[in-house]
Amino acid sequence: MDRKEFIHFRKSLNKTQKQLAELLGTSLKAVHSYEQGWRAVPGYIERQSLFLVSMKLRTSKWNKSCWTIKKCPLEQRKRCPAWEFRAGDLCWFINGTICEGTVQRNWNEKMSICRSCEVLQPLLNPQAGQSP
């Protein structure tokens, strides 16, 4: 997550820097640093920010399940945590999902796939395609 995206998500949550720091369990100085680009946004902050924004948008048409969008075969679904927990609209949030046929080793590897996936795209870029 880059600084512009971080700022965009904070504003879409309608939070001040201080309020967002409290929500994320981090310091105000850390939020300043992310927004100024002085520090990279850590994976756990990116994950929590995306989660908060997705919860705000949850009532929209955006929350279609990943297995429907990706047309996953039933055997693959049965092995996937997103299916197990009926969280197909939050597959990007759950570690251990079977995206592209394999489990990703870490958050960065997972997000490199998820950022180009049509499940997460409406959250990252609501102007492109369907809007949340």
Structural domains in the chain, CATH included, are 1-56 (1.10.260.40), 59-132 (no CATH)
Rg (CA), the chain: 15
Q: What is the pLDDT of residues 6-41, one digit of tens each?
A: 999 999 999 999 999 999 999 999 999 999 999 999
pTM, full prediction: 0.80
pLDDT number for residue 126: 63
Residue 124 has pLDDT above 90, yes or no: no
CB 54 within 8 A of CB 60: no
Give the Å distances, CA to CA, from 32 to 8, 82, 102: 14, 34, 37
Q: What is the pLDDT of residues 61-115, one digit of tens each?
A: 566 789 998 899 999 999 999 999 999 888 999 988 988 878 888 888 899 889 8
CB 70 within 8 A of CB 81: no
